[in-house]
Amino acid sequence: MMVEARRAVSRLQAVELAAVAELARRRDAEEQVSGAGVISAGEYVNDEVAAALTLTATSADELIRFAAGLTGRLPATFTALAVGDLDYARARALWQGLAQVGDEVAAEIEARVLARVAGQTTGEIRAKVRRLVRRLDPGALARRREHAELRRDVQLVATDDGTAHLTGLDLPADAATAARNRVNAIAAGLRSDGDRRAIGQLRADVFLGLLSGTLHTGEPSSDGTRRPAAVTPSGGEEGWTGVDDAVADAIARAARTQLGALSEHAVPERHQRLARLITQAGECIAGSLTGLKTRWCVPAPAPDPAAGSVLGPAPDLAADLAHGPVPGQAPDPAADLALSSVPGQAADPAPYRARGLAADLADGLAHGHRGYRVPAGMRRLIEKRDRRCGFPGCRRPVRHCDADHTIPYHRDGPTCPCNIAMLCRHHHSLKQTPGWRLQQLWPGVLLWTGPTGHWRITAPADRE
């Protein structure tokens, strides 16, 4: 049963890879037609795949490269995966090993490896590929090393235990070995001087001390538990109140609860149901915030949803989506350009929101700002709410993001927390790409619609 299940999974993974490769091919063809100087969906195909499959942008980019390489350069490997004779991990090991060799050498090595791939592990496949590459194309290993070193970086990843991994990636092997040897030597010296910390703890503390400039190699502390000095975080949250915190949490909680019933893919016949659910979610959010004196424009809901309110575009959402791209149909470039935020393009913002800033001010909801630039206090409020970029799966912190007007300012989009969302520069550009659309249903609750008409909704709690 395990073997047959693995074969079935391999066949389905081949279907997924073929679909990813075909999508990338079509987007590339569209980009070639659109020409230079025009923002094309082909530039953001990795974001389209990331949103559809719930991946990070990095994982989506690697998946696209793997799919294209397997279906293009390594057709025999793809066939073996498609019939279940080879699993995903071993196919990936073969693809990675042939990254820097020419097509002819890749085809020869592929044939030799596949001839005896049954029963071989990923480690055995990698070792065999390295031996064959060294024999048939000696310069490929050097090219692969040089290419990898161009990607060298340092990454900090938080763990569930409240600690962090600080990792140097794709470092030159000789330099990395020398650096580790130095850390080992200092740690061993401290150990021989009587420091009772474990050798692993000593290495870690020496590592941090060298990087932060706080390393002290004098006498150990009396209990032997000396640690590097703590880092004090910079910045503050001046002007933030507990009421604001309650508002952000209420919006996130209500949005997650009510929007959980929505499917991941919108089809025309579900538009009316989608509009009803979004209206209910807005009412739930408004009910959670009743009596709170806040800077959010979320008052009590209108008795008749059809009458509209500042909760968002729920009454018009079904009709709005009905005019957007439908899954399975090619997007209309002319319509997409009309909806993009290019200065000088005429567009009616009415379908995107029920009320404007003037109506809000008339009702005493003077939370907005009349200028384009977001005031510092308002930006702190929005950053606290959003925490990260608003695109599905993007984890870039708000301090590295733009404060984007969802409805462009030059199209009467107000500068207020209900029309501002934090987007990283990459996804800020994606929002303006033909085929992509962004709507802010309520403060921080974003509806993204891709070139195929598929959509995803993100709420502040999704980005914590």
DSSP, res 119: T
Q: What is the pLDDT of residues 295-309, one digit of tens each?
A: 445 433 333 333 333
The angle that helices 75-82 and 88-97 make with each other, rounded to 10 degrees, is 170
d(CA 340, CA 316): 19
Enumerate residues 6+ apart whose C-beta is below 8 A from 49: 20, 23, 24, 55, 60, 63, 64
d(CA 203, CA 326): 57
Q: What is the pLDDT of residues 362-383, one digit of tens each?
A: 343 345 677 888 888 788 888 8
Q: What is the pLDDT of residues 85-124, one digit of tens each?
A: 999 999 999 999 998 888 999 999 999 999 988 888 999 9
SS3 110: helix
Confidence of residue 337 (pLDDT cuts 50, 70, 90): very low
Tokens 């290993």 sit at which residue? 141
| DSSP β-ladder status, 153-158 and 445-449 | unpaired
Contacts of range 210-219, beta carbons closer than 8 Å, 24 or more positions apart: 210/183, 210/186, 211/166, 215/186, 217/186, 217/189, 217/190, 219/193
Give the other-Cβ count within 10 Å of 361's Cβ.
14
Q: What is the pLDDT of residues 244-262, one digit of tens each?
A: 555 555 555 555 555 554 4
Q: With a cut of 80, say whether residue 352 has pLDDT above it.
A: no
C-alpha to C-alpha distances, 47 to 15, 54, 67, 438, nearest whole angstrom: 20, 10, 15, 14
Confidence of residue 165 (pLDDT cuts 50, 70, 90): very high
Best CA proximity match to 427, nearest among 417, 416, 436, 440: 436
CB 386 within 8 A of CB 460: yes
d(CA 421, CA 442): 10
d(CA 318, CA 272): 6
pLDDT value, residue 274: 55
Beta bridge partners of 415: 369
| DSSP β-ladder status, 420-424 and 401-405 | antiparallel
Backbone dihedral region for residue 190 (phi beyond 0: left; psi -120 to 50: alpha; all else: beta): alpha
CB 48 within 8 A of CB 41: yes
C-alpha to C-alpha distances, 415 to 391, 411, 421, nearest whole angstrom: 20, 12, 11
pLDDT value, residue 142: 85
